[in-house]
Amino acid sequence: MNQPGETTHFGFRDVALSEKQTLVNDVFHSVARRYDLMNDLMSGGLHRLWKEWMVTALNPPRSEHPFALLDVAGGTGDIAFRAAESSGPGFKATVCDINSDMLGVGRERALARQLEGQVSFVESNAEELAFPNSTFDAYTIAFGIRNVPRIERALGEAFRVLRPGGRFLCLEFSTVDVPGFDRMYELFSFKVIPPLGRAVTGDGQAYEYLVESIRKFPKPAAFAEMIRSAGFSRVTWQSFSGGIVALHSGWRL
Q: Mean pLDDT throughout 68-82? A: 94
* Domain hosting residue 202, numbered range: 7-251
Q: Cβ(173)–Cβ(146) under 8 Å? A: yes
Other Cβ atoms less than 10 A from the Cβ of 104: the count is 16
In a domain, 152, yes or no: yes
Region 47-70: mean pLDDT is 95
Instruction: Kindly report the pTM of this predicted structure.
Output: 0.84
Gyration radius of the chain's alpha carbons: 17
Residue 1 counted as domain residue: no
pLDDT grade, residue 27 (50/70/90)? low
The total domain count for the chain is 1
CA dist 132 and 242 (Å) reads 39
Is the residue at 75 inside a domain?
Answer: yes
Asked, for residue 2, whether it belongs to a domain, the answer is no
Classify residue 130: in a domain, yes or no.
yes
Task: Output the domain CATH number for residue 22.
Answer: 3.40.50.150
DSSP tag of 131? S
**What angle, rounded to 10 degrees, do the helices at 35-43 and 193-201 form?**
150
Residue 35 lies inside a defined structural domain of this protein: yes
3-state secondary structure 139-183: EEEECCHHHCCCHHHHHHHHHHHEEEEEEEEEEEECCCCCCCHHH
Q: What angle do CA 14, 151, 32 make, to 5 degrees?
A: 80
pLDDT tier at 7 (50, 70, 90 boundaries)? low
Mean pLDDT for all residues in the chain:
86
Confidence of residue 221 (pLDDT cuts 50, 70, 90): very high
- Does residue 204 carry a pLDDT above 80? no
Over residues 9-15, mean pLDDT? 48
pLDDT at 45: 80
Q: Is the pLDDT of residue 26 over 50?
A: yes
